[in-house]
Amino acid sequence: MFVYADNAATTSVSKTALDAMIPYLTESYGNPSSLYAFGQRAAEALAEARETVAHYINADAREIYFTSGGSEADNQAIVSAARLGARKGKKHLISTKFEHHAVLHTLARLEKEGYEVTLLDVHEDGVVRLEDLEAAIRPDTALVTIMFANNEIGTVQPVAEIGKLCRAKGIPFHCDAVQAAGHMPIDVKAMNIDMLAMSGHKFHAPKGVGVLYARRGMVLSNIIEGGAQERGKRAGTENVAGIVALAAALKESCDNMEANTAKIIPMRDKLFAELSKIPHSKINGSLEHHVPGTVNMCFEGIEGESLLLMLDDAGICASSGSACTSGSLDPSHVLLSIGLPHEVAHGSLRLSIGEYNTMEEIDYIIETVPKVVSYLRAMSPVWDELEKGERPHLI
């Protein structure tokens, strides 16, 4: 059986999105900047896509900028707010310890340029506390950037409360909503979000297209210079087909959100319930504040990469936060941020399911994972020591 359970990494392109984009690759391939009607046909599709995207997050079409993906949108949002702040002498940026690297690495670069960065704790449950944010805010805070939902452990942040606090303090709030868009309701007005990043391929659009929402009044700095596309804020001929597909996929995902969620949650909960029966396992992140499809667990005494390779042999696509899968010395910064010891974090498994998965596939995962865990534990000197009591169990 082949089971794709890595939807937080990327998703398949839906038939709706594919059908929507094909005409803009074939018959209507004109450049939207061209004057003639053939080009204008593409420009119209672009305008329509912008309206659609705006509608589904309760924004105005003029507040939507298409980018190459979530990373570019995050980069542009953060750099823009930082530059804007610097002009007013504000050079303090607030974020959390478990943001995506598109955010953390951008902040690290700004730190080298003389900005000060405060990374908030996300506690054991993977949820940022409002009082921590309030305490971190300073008169020179130029930006608060906090993700909507974490990409590894799926915990959802109190976005509306964060937005409210930031608005009251007059601080721009950027939200990396890459894992939430198309899966959870987003209302930039109600949530007081000033900037927001989305990535099409996380909700069944193709890779290479994303969205930056920037509230009117937010002055954007360009990351890519060139032509006057995207109201002069993002140069480069528009990825018309990709943008059309993104809008179609977002519409489809949002229109079916309730039904999708109702389908995904029982599958996710079954995974949690059954895989938790594996001794010395642990669910990572609060289940109370959680995206529908993400399951992140640790199994003591084994290492994530070998777990993934074994699952791959069984036809299951999953991911892990072990050091060996990242190619670095340390396991995932997300797992460390919620207080997991290195030894435990190395044995993590992320399964992220979507509406295309079936209960039959979930049952197959539930049948396979315990076998693989037992096999690897039988080979593991760490597990041997844990079982003999020579090493204390940490979970």
Q: Give me the residues that bind another protein (CB under 8 A), please.
A: 301-306, 309, 313, 322-325, 327-329, 331, 341-343, 346, 379-384, 391
Q: Is the CB of 95 or the CB of 325 nearer to another protein?
A: 325
**What distance in Å separates the CA atoms of residue 250 and residue 23, rounded to the nearest whole number?**
18
Task: Compute the residue count for the chain.
Answer: 395
**What distance in Å separates the CA atoms of residue 261 and residue 156, rounded to the nearest whole number?**
15
**What distance in Å separates the CA atoms of residue 199 and residue 66, rounded to the nearest whole number?**
10
Q: How far apart are the first and last CA of the chain?
A: 31
CA 254 to chain centre: 17
Among 292, 288, 287, residue whose Cα is nearest residue 265: 292
DSSP string, 26-91: TTT---TT-SSHHHHHHHHHHHHHHHHHHHHTT--GGGEEEESSHHHHHHHHHHHHHHHHHHTT--
Q: Is the CB of 255 or the CB of 385 nearer to another protein?
A: 385
Burial environment of residue 277 by CB neighbours within 10 A (0 to 12, 13 to 18, 19 or more) = exposed
Least distance between another protein and beta carbon 392 (Å):
12
Based on the residue annotation, tell me whether 317 is a catalytic residue of this protein.
Answer: no
Least distance between another protein and beta carbon 310 (Å):
8
Residues 353 and 293 sit within 8 Å (Cβ to Cβ):
yes
Amino acid at 394: L
Least distance between another protein and beta carbon 334 (Å):
16
Q: Is the CB of 244 or the CB of 323 nearer to another protein?
A: 323
Least distance between another protein and beta carbon 385 (Å):
9
Least distance between another protein and beta carbon 125 (Å):
24
**What distance in Å separates the CA atoms of residue 257 and residue 94, rounded to the nearest whole number?**
31
Q: Is the CB of 163 or the CB of 347 nearer to another protein?
A: 347
Q: Which of 166, 175, 254, 324 is catalytic?
A: 324
Least distance between another protein and beta carbon 321 (Å):
11
Residues in a beta bridge with 6: 352
Query: Residue 294 corresponds to which tokens in the numbers above?
Result: 């993400």
Residues in a beta bridge with 196: 175, 213
Q: Is the CB of 342 or the CB of 371 nearer to another protein?
A: 342
Residues in a beta bridge with 155: 290
Please, what is the Cα angle at 322 between 316 and 326, to 5 degrees? 95
Least distance between another protein and beta carbon 298 (Å):
13
DSSP β-ladder status, 116-120 and 92-96? parallel
CB atoms within 10 A of CB 225: 9
Q: Is the CB of 132 or the CB of 330 nearer to another protein?
A: 330
Least distance between another protein and beta carbon 311 (Å):
12
Q: Is the CB of 296 or the CB of 380 nearer to another protein?
A: 380
Amino acid at 262: A
Backbone angles phi, psi at 111, to 5 degrees: -60, -40
Q: Is the CB of 119 or the CB of 382 nearer to another protein?
A: 382
Among 29, 8, 7, residue whose Cα is nearest residue 244: 29
Which residues are the active-site residues?
324
